[in-house]
């Protein structure tokens, strides 16, 4: 299936985890992919491997999504080289978990900036390019925890913010052939999940109705649909990809 032939896809935080799985998936379906990540070494290694494997163009650039100048420069370079931007995946995000009393100013702002402000900066940068061609797909990363999660006030605020941002992008771009949606992953096997302490992780898995974690490919599958031309009438949604975790308790 080459539904992304001739399309240009930007993935933030694409050096590892979900971003790497999505960059790989878009390339496998024919896209030219631009990875923007603070981890330029891992991003470059992945981009080279994708190019070798799929024979498509895949670029890597050191981009810090919390810095609007860095974002604007990246977007302008990609748009200049590729002459179009079809898809933006706002995937970059970090966690700095603590109870509210123990979240210091730095950990509050760092988490909000990486997820929420970064998604805003990237969206603002790509919109003129999408509007000029009256086509675009924007997918931003929320989390199942956007509804509230103990010990994650900064992350929850960022991920709930992504929902509001997404719905507003959807409204403001609806008449320009652009859609905006969010993905709310549950527990997916990535370095971010591996960084959680084991007891907390196991407790969470026991609450998943399917009693298992998801794979990055589960998320890539959802993103590949939402960003495809075929999903043109789907906008402003939050797609849970979580084995049913967001439904509520499944303890028998
Ligand atoms: N893995 C999960 O279970 C899970 C669950 C819910 C939501 N999410 C969300 O999915 C997204 C991806 O998660 P992941 O598990 O792949 O994380 P990860 O930590 O494995 O990868 C995140 C990537 O983002 C990059 N990054 C961090 N800050 C950046 C910045 N300022 N500018 C550019 N790049 C930056 C990192 O270098 C890294 O490559 C995140 O937004 C995360 O909050 C993940």
Residues 42-98: pLDDT tens digits?
999 999 999 999 999 999 999 999 999 999 999 999 999 999 999 999 999 999 999
- Ligand 1 in contact with 114 (CB < 6 A)? yes
Give me ligand 1 centre to Cα 117, in Å.
14
Query: What's the Rg (C-alpha) of the chain?
Result: 17
- Ligand 1 in contact with 122 (CB < 6 A)? no
Lowest model confidence (mean pLDDT) among 90-99, 148-157, 187-196: 187-196
Question: Cα 130 vs. chain centroid, distance in angstroms?
Answer: 18
Choose which residue among 12, 15, 16, 17 to substitute to test ligand 1 binding: the one with the highest number of ligand atoms within 8 A of its C-beta: 17
- Ligand 1 in contact with 158 (CB < 6 A)? no
pLDDT digits (tens, 9 = 90+) for 203-235: 889 999 999 999 999 999 999 999 999 999 999
Task: Order across the sheet with 32-37: list the strands.
Answer: 58-62, 32-37, 8-12, 87-90, 136-141, 178-185, 238-241
Q: How far is CA 8 from CA 73, 84, 111, 162, in A?
A: 16, 6, 28, 23
The helix/strand/coil state of 246 is helix
Residue 14's closest CA among 113, 105, 118? Answer: 118
**Is 13 buried (19+), middle (13-18) or exposed (0-12) by CB count in 10 A?**
buried
Q: Which residues are catalytically annotated?
A: 155
pTM: 0.97
- CA-nearest residue for atom 19, ligand 1, is 192
């Amino acid at each position: 299936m080459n539904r992304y032939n001739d399309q240009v896809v930007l993935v933030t935080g694409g050096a590892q985890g979900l971003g790497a799985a999505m960059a790989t998936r878009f390339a496998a379906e024919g896209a030219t992919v631009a990875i923007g990540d603070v981890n330029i070494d891992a991003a470059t290694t992945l981009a080279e491997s994708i190019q070798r494997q799929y024979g498509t163009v895949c670029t890597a650039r050191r981009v810090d999504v919390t810095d609007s100048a860095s974002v604007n420069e990246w977007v302008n370079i990609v748009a200049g080289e590729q002459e179009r931007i079809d898809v933006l995946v706002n995937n970059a995000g970090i966690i700095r978990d603590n109870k509210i009393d123990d979240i210091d100013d730095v950990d509050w702002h760092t988490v909000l900036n990486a997820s929420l402000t970064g998604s805003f900066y990237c969206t603002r940068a790509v919109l003129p390019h999408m509007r000029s061609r009256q086509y675009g797909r924007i997918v931003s990363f929320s989390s199942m925890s956007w509804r509230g999660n103990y010990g994650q006030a900064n992350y929850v605020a960022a991920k709930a913010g992504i929902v509001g941002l997404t719905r507003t992008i959807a409204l403001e771009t609806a008449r320009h052939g652009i859609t905006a949606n969010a993905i709310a992953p549950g527990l997916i096997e990535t370095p971010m999940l591996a960084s959680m302490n084991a007891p907390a992780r196991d407790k969470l898995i026991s609450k998943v109705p399917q009693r298992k974690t998801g794979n990055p490919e589960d998320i890539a599958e959802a993103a590949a649909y939402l960003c495809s031309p075929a999903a043109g009438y789907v906008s402003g949604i939050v797609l849970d990809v979580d084995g049913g975790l967001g439904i509520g308790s499944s303890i028998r």
